[in-house]
Amino acid sequence: MRYMTLPDIAALSRRFDVFETGPACDSQLLKARLFTPLAVCGDDLVWGFRFLKAAGAEGISELPVVQIEPHGRLLVALKLENRTGRYSWKERYSIYTLLGELGESEDAESISLAVSGNAGFFAMMKRYACLPGHLKAAINEGRLDLSIAEKVCTLPEAACDLVFSRTGLSFSMVRELLVNLAEIRRRDGLAAGEITALVRDVLAAGDPVKALFLIRNPELSGLTGRFEAFKDRYTAQTGVSLKAPLYFEGDGYTVSFSFSTKAELRRKRETIERLEEGCDELEDLL
Specify the pLDDT at position 90.
95
Strand-pairing partners, residue 65, are 2, 38
Specify the pLDDT at position 114.
96
How far does Cα 188 stand from its chain's mean position? 26
pLDDT, tens digit (0-9, with 9 covering 90-100), for 129-140: 999 999 999 999
State the average pLDDT over residues 9-16: 96
The answer to whether 143 and 164 are in contact (CB under 8 A) is yes
pLDDT of residue 31 exceeding 90, the answer is: no
Q: State phi, psi for 233 to the nearest 5 degrees.
A: -75, -35
State the average pLDDT over residues 188-209: 96
Q: Note the pTM of the prediction, 2 decimals.
A: 0.76
In which band, very low, low, confident or very high, does the pLDDT at 24 lie, cut at 50, 70 and 90? Answer: confident
Distances (CA, A) of 146 to 97, 100, 138, 152: 18, 21, 10, 10
Mean pLDDT of the chain: 92
Of 121, 91, 124, the closest CA to residue 106 belongs to 121
In which band, very low, low, confident or very high, does the pLDDT at 187 lie, cut at 50, 70 and 90? Answer: very high
**CA–CA gap between residue 78 and residue 228 (Å, rounded):** 61
pLDDT of residue 21 exceeding 90, the answer is: no
Of 72, 57, 65, 81, the closest CA to residue 9 belongs to 65
Name the residue with higher pLDDT: 23 or 257. 257
Direct distance between the N- and C-terminal alpha carbons of the chain, in angstroms, rounded to an integer: 76
As a whole number of angstroms, the longest Cα–Cα distance in the chain is: 96
**CA–CA gap between residue 37 and residue 76 (Å, rounded):** 12
Pairing of strands 62-67, 38-41: parallel
**CA–CA gap between residue 72 and residue 68 (Å, rounded):** 9
